[in-house]
Structure 1
Amino acid sequence: MQERLTWLRRVCEEMPVPSKVAAAAMDEATRLRTQVLEDHQLMVCVVFKAGSTTWNSILAHRYNNTEVLKTKEFYKLLEVLNPTKERFQEVSRSPLFLKALMARHPLDRLLSAYRDRIEDQTHVTSQAREYGPQILRHTRGLSFSRKDMFHINGTLRVVPTFHEFVSYLVSRPPQEYDPHWRPVSLQCGLCHINYTAVVLTETYNEDLHYIMRASGMDQLVDMTLLTKNNNRGKGNTHRLLQHYYSTLEPSLLQKIISVYQNDFKMFNYTASTILDLVS
């Protein structure tokens, strides 16, 4: 954990100092992704597709939120525990609070977001409804009627390919991305807040154990929830990465890597694994 934090601070020292306006905008963007657990003196920047569902399911049990437990709409815990602007400013600067953030390999997270929020036809998502038509207008120059675009249950009838999804993304400013695939570096104010813990998907259970012990949550929550709720994804990760990213021509692959360049730097990730898989 200390090595991650030291690395992050070193990278931040090399980043340009933002203007006051830019810093204020980043603070507000971070607040919107932040949960504050007052009784545990814990602040967490929650990142979708980086273990957020497991974390929020644990919180639903911790606070006995029966509605969320019943509906399994765990994402609602972000709104429930979101601080006011004033409280966010206080907590984010307080040495008394443990401050944690979540992250995942950028290209792994991007693919997971596409498969879950765009491609998967077993459930309806707001991302498919909003971005499906936009992606197809961008890549095919076509506007579909709602009847042609969606099944009666709300799922996509015409599903954009991963290539089309990525092509659409690189044509847009990353700041405007949906939170499920917006770079972590644009969500959690990595160089604005003195984080004291970094949770990575690759060592998720161990990292969450650390946070729960440090905050005292381990005394109030059944720790087996970590393994029960941990969503490891669907299928062999290497095969999936190879299958989807091999559909991108080298120039497009390099463009999407550039979009997430700060995430790669700040969490010491490399794109070489993906590049090797598709070469």
Structure 2
Amino acid sequence: MICTDLKLKWTLVIVLIVVPFTVLQAQCYPWLEQITRQEQLTMGCDNLVVKSRGRLNVTSLDHILVDHKHKLLYCYVPKVACTNFKRVMMVLTGESSATNLVEIPATLAHSENSTLRLSQLSRDEARACLKDYTIFLIARHPFERLLSAFRNKFVDSLPSSKYFQARYGRHILRKYRVNASRSEIQSGTNVTFQEFVHYLLTEGITTNEHWTPIYDLCSPCLLNYTFIGHYETISEDTKTVLDMVGAPPIVFPVTRSGHTKEHLRWYFQQLSIFEIQALYKMYERDFKLFGYGLEEMLGYDLA
């Protein structure tokens, strides 16, 4: 069959010309979708006219994890199932022998030495990996990812939330809440979504990796990504990537307990259309590079 070997990559582009779409769709749907995503990324990058193309600073690629055994590179994006993917990388690299990924503590998966980073390699080694290895990332709707970060770090009662409330919550309340009391500022809790957005619009969206755009984290217009996954099809995309590199069978846990998408419209209705437009402008590259829009949320698109 045409798609028996998923390592055939873009030979499917040629095959599309001679084989009916419906047949291929049934046989290897992930690659049909992948062609669309790659075209979206290529056209988006061309439209951006990236002036720094070819001038990549390898030392800045600290979000790209390395698996030499399977020749795999993964650019992790916070709030896009990156905890589970870091667990996968630990198993692939032999850092963990767990058969059930959720048995690996999240704190261990996020530790600095859990997986080798591309930025830790020499310049020549890093460039060789970028040339020869399979490299992938998983994208997510920018506003859904942003809301997930807000709810996880400022609404949920989790140990990790305490750091964000102390580090960012106090600052946001002090600067963006009118007549905030001393006790409110001291606690750093109960930051509203509108206050959080005001903070981003005023101080920028690269102050923390959890709301920094994928464009800035993964350099998708400078690196030749082999595979672009989407959060919405994460199960299928994960299987495809692992099959590509000949990984052992791994059951990827898909957990979406936050149900962020269900709350998206409610939270964004708290913002003015001008705030939404300004926020969209800040994440515009992620929207356009990965094929996302606002029509489902607003009823129309801003692009």
TM-score normalised over the length of structure 1 = 0.82
Pair 1:131 & 2:165 matched = no
Pair 1:231 & 2:255 matched = yes
Q: Deviations over 1:164-189 (max 9, x none)?
A: 11110011233x33111111111111
Pair 1:91 & 2:167 matched = no
Pairing partner for 2:157 from 121, 129, 137: 121
SS for the counterpart of 1:39 is coil
Q: Work out the CA distance in 1 between the residues paired with 2:49 and 2:79.
A: 28
Pair 1:52 & 2:88 matched = no
Counterpart of 1:163?
A: 194
Q: Identity of aligned pairs, percent? A: 25
Contact persistence 2:265–2:297 (CA under 8 A): yes
Q: Work out the CA distance in 1 between the residues paired with 2:182 and 2:97.
A: 39
Following superposition, the deviation at residue 69 of structure 1 comes to: 4.9
**Worse-matched range after superposition: 69-78 or 141-150:** 141-150
Following superposition, the deviation at residue 118 of structure 1 comes to: 1.6
Counterpart of 1:211?
A: 241
Pairing partner for 1:71 from 91, 105, 109: 105
Following superposition, the deviation at residue 65 of structure 1 comes to: 2.9
Pairing partner for 2:212 from 172, 182, 201: 182
Q: In structure 1, give the amino acid aligned to 2:293.
A: T
Q: Work out the CA distance in 1 between the residues paired with 2:298 and 2:128.
A: 43
Pairing partner for 2:299 from 268, 276, 279: 276
Following superposition, the deviation at residue 271 of structure 1 comes to: 1.2
TM-score normalised over the length of structure 2 = 0.76
Distance 1:142 1:124, change over 3 A: farther
Q: Work out the CA distance in 2 between the residues paired with 1:99 and 1:184.
A: 15
Distance 1:182 1:210, change over 3 A: same
Q: Work out the CA distance in 1 between the residues paired with 2:185 and 2:212.
A: 29
Counterpart of 1:36?
A: 66
Pairing partner for 1:111 from 143, 147, 168: 147
Pair 1:200 & 2:230 matched = yes
Q: Deviations over 1:124-175 (max 9, x none)?
A: 333332111121122126687689623xxxxx5x32101111110011233x
Following superposition, the deviation at residue 235 of structure 1 comes to: 3.5
Between Structure 1 and Structure 2, whose CA radius of gyration is higher? 2
Counterpart of 2:277?
A: 254
Contact persistence 1:56–1:77 (CA under 8 A): no
Pairing partner for 1:17 from 32, 45, 50: 50
Distance 1:259 1:28, change over 3 A: farther
Higher-RCO chain (CA-CA 8 Å, sequence separation at least 6): 1
- Unaligned runs of 5+ residues in structure 1 are 151-155
- Unaligned runs of 5+ residues in structure 2 are 1-33
Distance 1:149 1:65, change over 3 A: farther
Counterpart of 1:153?
A: none
Following superposition, the deviation at residue 211 of structure 1 comes to: 0.6
Q: Work out the CA distance in 2 between the residues paired with 1:60 and 1:145.
A: 44
Contact persistence 2:173–2:184 (CA under 8 A): no
How many residue pairs align between the two structures? 258
